[in-house]
Amino acid sequence: MMNIQFADRMNNVHKSFIREILKATVNPEVISFAGGLPNPASFPVEAVQEATQKVLNDDGSSVLQYSTTEGYLPLRQYIAERYLKKKGIIIDPYEILITSGSQQGLDLIGKVLLNKNDDIILEEPGYLGAIQALSIFEPKFHTVPLRDDGVDINSLKEVLNKCNPKLFYAVPNFQNPSGITYTAQNREGVANILKNTDTIFVEDDPYGELRFIGEHVPPMKTYLGDNVILLGSFSKIVAPGMRLGWICAKREIMEKLIIAKQASDLHTNYFSQRIVYQYLVDNDIDNHIKKITELYREQRNCMVSMIEKYFPKEVKSTKPEGGMFLWATLPEGFSALELFDIASKQNVAFVPGDPFYITKKGINTMRLNYTNSTEEKIEEGIKRLSAAINQLIK
Amino acid sequence: MMNIQFADRMNNVHKSFIREILKATVNPEVISFAGGLPNPASFPVEAVQEATQKVLNDDGSSVLQYSTTEGYLPLRQYIAERYLKKKGIIIDPYEILITSGSQQGLDLIGKVLLNKNDDIILEEPGYLGAIQALSIFEPKFHTVPLRDDGVDINSLKEVLNKCNPKLFYAVPNFQNPSGITYTAQNREGVANILKNTDTIFVEDDPYGELRFIGEHVPPMKTYLGDNVILLGSFSKIVAPGMRLGWICAKREIMEKLIIAKQASDLHTNYFSQRIVYQYLVDNDIDNHIKKITELYREQRNCMVSMIEKYFPKEVKSTKPEGGMFLWATLPEGFSALELFDIASKQNVAFVPGDPFYITKKGINTMRLNYTNSTEEKIEEGIKRLSAAINQLIK
């Protein structure tokens, strides 16, 4: 019998706890706020069908051939133009790399930047996919807590006083899991602290376009320029099954990212790149995004008002202005994991905060997704969850 | 100005030399045998169009949603059934993971198995994509030379006498770059040496179905069972732009591969998985493969006969029974890189052997691709190349 010695790095990485939870929600009786899926009603099925016909009719076999590691240039030009139009930031298409979802961006960033035990900063709570992807490279994690307006500035200063982190990974818009968006003032504060350091700000922005209340806030790249690596994705505004995201980084870093991408999978699915590009030029994407945000606003409003109606007053929760998640906090000392067990028996599911924290235990927070349930389900689910909470805390 | 410290691993990995060469062949006057592309005439454009319509009509938005890390189960079942039917090997669909091309399989294998300085074995010459992907994990490379019948058995024994390699990566069918196929006897010899070791045989088989002369030889997995990780790909039998490959590995390894895949890009493009599956069940893939091999046999026959007609007798070359490449050897002491420079001026290109060797320099071998040129181009290209060879060696 062969004796297999796995790589040390695999000791740090585990199966997504969320994916394990999702298995518990397959039962159709369960109302699940646990997932993180966009609402499939928002997927442009017919337009994708038309775009596919068009690229196959016009360019036939060439859309099925191998392609360049960097990605389809017109698609990268489209992304650059949209950044200029929507955010007022200038990005050279040659500083954009198309990736297999923005998750792959995290893997490539880890590959090119991280040695074992390098210091890096994450938000707490932080995005689970980033914790997973970066753990592979065995860095030393430091965390800065999130407050309602963004990063806790003093904590960030403290981390930077004691070490020289390679990067700070964050989701400044409608963060996953908390739904929090950094205010302009908070962004400026973070930028002022980082701008004379060697710490690269990795700005992950999958939800930025999904704002349904309030005004867009400038990206961190506006404040920090080339010291930012910016990640984007078509998963939330077109369709996630296509696995299309991108990284923007200055040339010096981009050269390394391209080498790492080539070693990782040669290039991103070219067929999908061509289809999504065709879809983008043939359709009014702003109008499409407007439809998505209107849909999500209704779902968010419903969950917020049901929480106000049913949840015990001791439970606090955010009122997100965009994105897909709402964040609720039980009174101090209560465990969201325990609540999960009680709630499961009442056929309602959510994600306990625990996997989003790197070191803390006994977490009293939880993530609720509202984009994948009807208003009826949201009302019934929040009722059940309230009953579970009352059972736990009273 | 920020000071960026890249990860140490990036010192070992370079841009593909071949991709750099390909840039020199953009000039339409150049006849290029340098590429490694399947012939696009073989891509099933209309059938892919029909399959796309069908999955979007039948399953609408669900084919555009996020999906499982493991890959679409019916596609994995199809792959398992085909292994049983074509090769007589039993593989459980739960021991198959769908990857973004088999190149990603290499990245995942490196992730789960390789610590820095772990010993591994490669063929010499070896597949460049594997050298790139595995270099990221900073192993200690050992090489075993290839002979006409496969691996040099004594060299393999020598390597295993001096260390305990984690894996032996090889392409036993129509190897890239050499076109060599291991005989059944050679496979048995390799298996006998490996079977009581802890060395995993990584059997990469992208070209196995492209045999146009002679009989199929049993896969290494037949001899070594669970000690093999088997890689496969739809790139050469359906279309490479879809980036669909797979890894077969026993459960113990598969569990780790799934975690690494999740961290790397969540899952492979689901839209393409559904389309390719639909294509496979609605079409006669064996008949399609027959058309590809007939096309490639004509192209191979043309190149072989032109070489016989024009090349100086001092140059030796293989007569591949399948796959996409032919391997030529200049007389001892002559450099294929020098020949490349002379040939470029005559508007003909190939890949000098150098990048396929890990340590050797002054290489006198070269890779010629025949699947991407018409018979007229092959004749004219071989004529030009012969003139260049004569200029070099005479």
pLDDT value at position A42?
Answer: 93
Mean pLDDT over A202-228 rounds to 96
pLDDT band at B362; cut points 50, 70, 90: confident
pLDDT bin (cut points 50, 70, 90) of residue A126 is very high
B313 part of a folded domain:
yes
Residue B302 has pLDDT above 90, yes or no: yes
Paired with A98 in beta bridges are A246
What lies within 8 Å, CB to CB, of A337 at 6+ separation is: A352, A354, A363
| pLDDT score, position A323 | 97
- pLDDT tens-digit readout, B218-236: 999 999 999 999 999 999 9
Q: What is residue B27's predicted lDDT score, i.e. its pLDDT?
A: 82
* Plot region of B169 (φ>0 → left; ψ -120 to 50 → alpha; else → beta): beta
**Nearest in space to B374 (alpha carbons), one of B307, B273, B295:** B295
Residue B23 has a pLDDT of: 72
Which of A137, A240, A271 is closest, CB to CB, to B272? Answer: A271
Quick one: B352 and B268 in the same domain? no
**Residue B1 clears pLDDT 90, i.e. is over it:** no
Give the domain-ending residue among B282, B303, B319.
B282
Q: Do B33 and B94 sit in the same domain of this protein? A: no
Instruction: Of B175, B173, B158, give the one whose Cα is nearest residue B121.
Output: B158
Task: Find the helix packing angle between A336-345 and A375-393, rounded to 10°.
Answer: 120
Q: Is residue B4 part of a domain?
A: no
In this structure, are strands A119-124 and A140-147 parallel, antiparallel, or unpaired? Answer: parallel
Q: Can you give the three-state secondary structure of A109-152, one letter per residue?
A: HHHHHCCCCCEEEEEECCCHHHHHHHHCCCCEEEEEEEECCEEC
The band of A302, judged by pLDDT with boundaries at 50, 70 and 90, is very high
Residue A384 lies inside a defined structural domain of this protein: yes
How confident is the model at residue A2, as a pLDDT?
Answer: 81
Residue B353 one-letter amino acid: G
Instruction: Classify A100 in phi/psi space as left (phi over 0), alpha (psi -120 to 50) or beta.
Output: beta
Whether B360 shows a pLDDT value over 80: the answer reads no
Residues B271 and B346 in one domain: no
Instruction: Please provide the average confidence, as pLDDT, over all residues in chain B.
Output: 95
Range of the domain at A228: 45-282
| Min distance A57 CA to chain B CA atoms (Å) | 9
Residue B194 shares a structural domain with residue B73: yes
Nearest beta carbon to residue B103 from set A137, A266, A269: A266
Closest CA to B229 of B259, B268, B203: B203
Residue B5 lies in a domain: no
Q: Give all strands (DSSP E) within chain A, no chain letters.
A: 31-32, 96-99, 119-124, 140-147, 150-151, 167-170, 200-204, 228-233, 245-248, 316-317, 325-329, 348-349, 351-352, 365-369
Kindly state whether residue B3 falls inside one of the protein's structural domains. no
Distance between CA A153 and CA A172 in Å, rounded? 14
Confidence band (pLDDT; 50, 70, 90) for A67? very high
Cα-Cα-Cα-Cα torsion A172, A175, A176, A180, nearest 10 degrees, comes to 150
- Closest in A63, A227, A241 to B241, CB measured: A63
Q: Is residue B2 part of a domain?
A: no
**Average pLDDT score over residue span B71-85:** 98
Residues of A in contact with B279 (CB under 8 A): none
pLDDT above 90 coverage of chain B, percent: 91
Last-in-domain residue among A241, A264, A282:
A282
pLDDT higher than 90, residue A329: yes
pLDDT in tens, A354-365: 999 987 777 899
Q: Are residues B253 and B379 in the same domain?
A: no
The percent of residues in chain A predicted with pLDDT above 90, rounded, is: 91
pLDDT at B159: 97
A322 with A230, same domain? no
Mean pLDDT computed over B324-339: 95
Domain count, chain A: 2
User: Would residue A144 count as lying in a domain?
Assistant: yes
Same domain, B325 and B195: no
Residues A61 and A49 in one domain: yes
Question: Is B186 within 8 Å of B146 (Cβ atoms)?
Answer: no
- The pLDDT assigned to B35 comes to 86
Q: Does A65 contact B43 at a Cβ distance shorter than 8 Å?
A: yes
Which domain CATH number covers A344?
3.90.1150.10
Long-range pairs for B28-32: beta carbons < 8 A, 24 or more residues apart: B29/B347, B30/B344, B30/B347, B30/B348, B30/B349, B31/B347, B31/B348, B31/B349, B31/B373, B31/B377, B31/B380, B31/B381, B31/B384, B32/B348, B32/B349, B32/B350, B32/B369, B32/B372, B32/B373, B32/B381
Q: Which residue of A has its CA nearest to B263?
A: A133
Residues A257 and A322 in one domain: no
Chain A neighbors of B65, CB-CB under 8 A? 37-38, 40, 43, 239-241
Q: Are residues B149 and B208 in the same domain?
A: yes
Residues A125 and A167 in one domain: yes
B343 pLDDT more than 80: yes
Is the pLDDT score of A24 beyond 80? no
Q: Give A222: exposed, middle or buried? Use CB within 10 Å, 0-12, 13-18, 19+.
A: middle
**Residue A3 located in a structural domain:** no
Interface test with A, best of B168, B266, B276, B292 (most A CBs within 10 A): B266
Residue that finishes a domain, picked among A258, A282, A306: A282
CA distances, B278 to each of A50, A89, A112, A124, A239 (Å) = 18, 42, 38, 43, 20
Which CATH number do you get for residue B277?
3.40.640.10
pLDDT confidence tier of residue A332, bands split at 50, 70 and 90: very high
Sequence-separated (6 or more) residues with CB below 8 Å from residue B324: B36, B38, B174, B176, B207, B210, B236, B296, B369, B370, B371
Amino acid A80: pLDDT: 98
pLDDT digits (tens, 9 = 90+) for A254-294: 999 999 999 999 999 999 999 999 999 999 999 999 999 99
DSSP calls for B120-167: EEEEES--HHHHHHHHTT--EEEEEEEETTEE-HHHHHHHHHH---SE
On whether both B248 and B347 belong to a single domain, the answer is no
pLDDT band at A200 (very low <50, low <70, confident <90, very high): very high
Residue B178: pLDDT over 90:
yes
| A-interface mutation test, from B9, B271, B278, most A Cβ less than 10 A away | B271
Closest chain A CA to residue B107: A264
